[in-house]
């Protein structure tokens, strides 16, 4: 029973819960059990802490930083009581979810993967957290991430690496790697990540999931610890397009507490979800195909385009002439905003303080000890880019390039309804293989940052499996990116749903699948047998 | 452009980051590489292009002026590293007169 519950989608669980076939408590307990056996937590007390990074076993995923077990069980019991009393509950009531540790939740620490915030208990809920609770989605705990969401592998966490359930020696992508691995490892059917330059879409691609960055401004940033405010956006991870759409419907909401929250009504991503591809024009971006992608990624992408054509979509070629400048512009704009936003971590109001004789020395010593190397690099780049004499050439010029990229998208959407590209240039790479070279790590984001700069909605969904070039015989997920005009998330979801139905990709890696039989360590060769 | 070790120290001071000599030695080539990469934006002719700082051009966003509870002072202070008389406490800011 329990093993069966963790393999079900959120939509399936919601139906079983509504029909009274299973209780919210049973669903939550099944997922807590799965976390206890696979993740490397000390399953004891009200809040389960992750083991120290050094104490983690080679088979442990380390998706969670803390598991709020008692609160989750209490919420589940409350849902069951209210359902039994005849109360009308939301569509995902009783379904468990993992929350990225960059969103605040009362009563549990929020660390952002940083020593700077170790032990900080926020005195308020993020709007996303409030909306989840109001919908009776049960938060299981907080997930690991690159420190302050800066990274593409989750190796920049101060609390140890998260592993990819498809191959435990590989990264899950980042920065939302914990949220991705939790869902791929069947520890939760849903999770929330945040995406600044690809931090939902790239990990979704590397872990075989659906991951969505909604239109900027449709999901409140209140209580989302800021990295780059004009780019940060929370969104769903799920094992199916419909599950992701259900979750997005819950979290998108105009919020007076976020001055960048868009006042327009958010798109209805459920109404036309199953309308099919007929009549849709799929735009293939000339600048984001072929060059720089692993052969396996390029092959799966080509197959995806053929599938679209077979399903009745019209394939059109479009150009984003300034796409090549997206990544350089992003790596000026995001660090500039980061250097400004992270100035708040000064040892005064919350988090770490390192004592020193004067305030300025205290600030500098606290920040030196609290931040890891990648965060320091980005703060330094941003501080330099915004400093007197350099502002025009760096930040201002990058902001103009941003305008040109947004115009490129507007032009492309005149001839296409949805644009596509591979999500990531590679399949999941080995732990430690890119940490020494910041620019090699940044290149993971080449296909995802243009949509971020334009603010448009974008998602990644599984398109197939491919071999890692460094390890023959492997079978690892490849993601397909879809992008739509501002506030047209619905069109993107519709195309994604039709593609998913035809592909019937199995989102369960071999390891989590084998766990039911008592063993866990997956081999990537087994992945190939479970997927087509 | 390359960032010399002295420039790295200057930027670190602006960013309120204490850096060791080893960190300066490592950061100087790393930051130079990243800036060199990012400088590609200069290749784009964009003199007459307005900058975008936000995907939606929202200006002067206000909310209705309604009374609502604010976070309790003790909840905020509970998270502070050092508190004195219901206030955040910090080391001295102004140098003593010599």
Q: How far apart are CA A191 and CA A98, in angstroms?
A: 4
Tokens at A157, concatenated? 């966490």
Q: How far apart are CA A511 and CA A519, in angstroms?
A: 8
DSSP string across A402-415? HHHHHHHHHHHTTT
- For residue A320, list chain B residues with Cβ-Cβ distance below 8 A: none
Q: How far apart are CA A327 and CA A297, in angstroms?
A: 20
- Which residue range is the domain that position A37 belongs to? 2-255+263-329+395-517
Q: Which of A356, A394, A442 sits opposite B91 (nearest CB)?
A: A356
Counting as low any pLDDT under 70, the low residues of chain A are 1-3, 290, 511-532
Q: How far away is chain B from the Cα of A389, in angstroms, using its nearest Cα?
A: 13
Q: Which residue has the higher pLDDT, B95 or A179?
A: A179
For residue A528, the model assigns a pLDDT of 59
Say if A174 falls within a structural domain. Answer: yes
Helix axis angle, A326-341 to A373-386, nearest 10° = 100
Q: Looking at chain B, which residue has its C-alpha nearest residue A337?
A: B53
Q: Looking at chain B, which residue has its C-alpha nearest residue A345?
A: B16
Domains in chain A, number: 1
Q: How far apart are CA A292 and CA A424, in angstroms?
A: 10
Say if B31 falls within a structural domain. Answer: yes
Percent of chain A with pLDDT over 90: 88
Say if B48 falls within a structural domain. Answer: yes
- Contact at CB, A331 and B30, closer than 8 angstroms: no
For A396-428, letters b (16+ CB in 10 Å) and e give bbbbbbbbbbbbbbeebbeebbbbbbbbbbbbb
Say if B77 falls within a structural domain. Answer: no
Task: Work out the angle at residue A504's Cα, subtended by the Cα atoms of residues A97 and A248, and round it to the nearest 5 degrees.
Answer: 35
Q: ipTM score of the complex?
A: 0.94
Say if A6 falls within a structural domain. Answer: yes
Say if B89 falls within a structural domain. Answer: no
Q: Which of A328, A364, A396 sits opposite B37 (nearest CB)?
A: A328
The model's confidence at residue B93, banded by pLDDT at 50, 70 and 90, is confident
- Which residue range is the domain that position B10 belongs to? 1-65
Please tell me whether residue A96 adopts helix, strand or coil conformation. Answer: strand
What are the tens digits of pLDDT across the range A146-178?
A: 999 999 999 999 999 999 999 999 999 999 999
CATH number, domain with residue A54? 3.90.1300.10
Question: Would you name the residues of A annotated as active-site residues?
Answer: 100, 175, 199
- What is the maximum span of chain A, computed from C-alpha positions, in angstroms? 70
Task: Work out the angle at residue A307's Cα, subtended by the Cα atoms of residues A301 and A308, and round it to the nearest 5 degrees.
Answer: 95
Domains in chain B, number: 1
Q: How far apart are CA A304 and CA A295, in angstroms?
A: 14
In chain B, the N- to C-terminal Cα span, in Å, equals 41
For residue B59, the model assigns a pLDDT of 82
- For residue A346, list chain B residues with Cβ-Cβ distance below 8 A: 16
Count other Cβ atoms within 10 Å, centred on residue A37.
16
Say if A188 falls within a structural domain. Answer: yes
Say if B78 falls within a structural domain. Answer: no
For residue B17, the model assigns a pLDDT of 98
Say if A298 falls within a structural domain. Answer: yes
Q: Looking at chain B, which residue has its C-alpha nearest residue A405?
A: B52
Q: Looking at chain B, which residue has its C-alpha nearest residue A441?
A: B34
Q: How far apart are CA A398 and CA A245, in angstroms?
A: 33
For residue A405, the model assigns a pLDDT of 98
CATH number, domain with residue B19? 1.10.20.60
Q: How far away is chain A from the Cα of B45, in angstroms, using its nearest Cα?
A: 9
What are the tens digits of pLDDT across the range B42-72?
A: 999 999 999 998 888 788 888 888 898 888 9
Closest among A473, A474, A466, A465 to A505, alpha carbons compared: A465
Phi, psi of A489 (to 5 degrees): -55, -30
The model's confidence at residue B97, banded by pLDDT at 50, 70 and 90, is low
A-interface mutation test, from B34, B48, B83, most A Cβ less than 10 A away: B34
Closest among B91, B1, B26 to A437, alpha carbons compared: B26
Strands of chain B (E only): list them: 83-84, 87-88
For residue A517, the model assigns a pLDDT of 47
Contacts of A175 (CB under 8 A, 6+ apart): A113, A145, A146, A149, A150, A151, A152, A154, A156, A193, A194, A196, A199, A203
Q: What is the pTM of this model?
A: 0.96
- Contact at CB, A121 and B58, closer than 8 angstroms: no
What are the tens digits of pLDDT across the range A477-522?
A: 999 999 999 999 999 999 999 999 999 888 888 766 555 544 555 5
């Amino acid at each position: 029973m329990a093993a069966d519950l963790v393999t079900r989608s959120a939509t399936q669980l919601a139906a079983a819960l509504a029909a009274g076939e299973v209780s919210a408590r049973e669903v939550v307990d099944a997922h807590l059990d799965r976390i206890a056996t696979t993740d490397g937590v000390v399953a004891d007390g009200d809040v389960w802490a992750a083991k120290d990074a050094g104490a983690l076993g080679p088979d442990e995923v380390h998706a969670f930083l803390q598991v709020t077990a008692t609160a989750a069980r209490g919420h589940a019991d409350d849902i069951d009581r209210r359902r039994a009393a005849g109360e009308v509950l939301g569509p995902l009531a009783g379904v468990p979810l993992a929350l990225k540790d960059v969103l605040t939740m009362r009563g549990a620490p929020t660390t952002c993967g940083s020593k700077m915030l170790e032990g900080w208990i926020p005195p308020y809920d993020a709007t996303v957290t409030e909306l989840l609770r109001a919908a009776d989605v049960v938060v299981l705990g907080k997930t690991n991430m690159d420190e302050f969401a800066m990274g593409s592998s989750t190796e920049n966490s101060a609390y140890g690496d998260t592993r990819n359930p498809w191959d435990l020696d590989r990264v899950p992508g980042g920065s939302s790697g914990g949220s991705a691995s939790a869902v791929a490892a069947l520890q939760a059917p849903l999770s929330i990540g945040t995406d600044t330059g690809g931090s939902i879409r790239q990990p979704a691609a590397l872990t075989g999931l659906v991951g969505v960055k909604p239109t900027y401004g449709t999901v409140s940033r209140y209580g989302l610890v800021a990295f780059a405010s004009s780019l940060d956006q929370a969104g769903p991870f799920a094992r199916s397009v419909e599950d992701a759409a259900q979750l997005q419907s819950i979290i998108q909401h105009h919020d007076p507490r976020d001055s960048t929250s868009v006042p327009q009504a958010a798109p209805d991503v459920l109404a036309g979800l199953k309308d099919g591809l007929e009549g849709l024009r799929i735009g293939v971006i000339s600048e984001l195909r072929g060059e720089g992608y692993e052969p396996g990624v390029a092959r799966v992408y080509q197959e995806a385009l053929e599938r679209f054509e077979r399903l009745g979509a019209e394939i059109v070629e479009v150009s984003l002439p300034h796409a090549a400048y997206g990544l350089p512009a992003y790596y000026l704009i995001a660090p500039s905003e980061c250097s400004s936003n992270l100035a708040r971590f000064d040892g005064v109001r919350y988090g770490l303080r390192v004592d020193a004789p004067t305030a300025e020395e205290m600030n500098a010593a606290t920040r030196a000890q609290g931040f890891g190397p990648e965060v320091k690099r980005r703060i330094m780049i941003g501080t330099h880019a915004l400093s007197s004499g350099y502002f025009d050439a760096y930040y201002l010029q990058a902001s103009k390039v941003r305008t040109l990229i947004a115009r490129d998208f507007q032009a492309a959407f005149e001839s296409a309804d949805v644009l596509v590209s591979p999500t990531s240039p590679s399949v999941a790479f080995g732990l430690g293989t890119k940490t020494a070279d910041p620019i090699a790590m940044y290149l993971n984001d080449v296909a995802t940052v243009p949509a971020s700069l334009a603010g448009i909605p974008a998602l990644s969904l599984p398109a197939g499996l491919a071999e890692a070039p460094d390890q023959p015989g492997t079978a690892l997920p490849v993601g397909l990116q879809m992008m739509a005009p501002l506030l047209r998330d619905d069109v993107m979801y519709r195309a994604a749903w039709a593609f998913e139905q035809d592909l019937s990709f199995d989102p369960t890696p071999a390891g989590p699948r084998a766990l039911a039989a008592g063993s866990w360590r997956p081999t990537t060769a087994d992945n190939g047998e479970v997927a087509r | 452009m390359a960032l010399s070790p002295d420039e790295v120290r200057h930027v670190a001071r602006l960013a309120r980051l204490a850096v060791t000599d080893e960190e300066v030695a490592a950061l100087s080539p790393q930051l130079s590489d990243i800036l060199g990469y990012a400088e590609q934006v200069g290749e784009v002719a964009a003199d007459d292009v307005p900058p975008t700082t936000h995907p939606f051009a929202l200006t002067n966003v206000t909310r209705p002026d309604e009374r609502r509870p604010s976070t309790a002072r003790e909840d905020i202070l509970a998270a502070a590293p050092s508190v004195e008389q219901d206030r955040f406490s910090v080391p001295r800011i102004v140098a003593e007169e010599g």
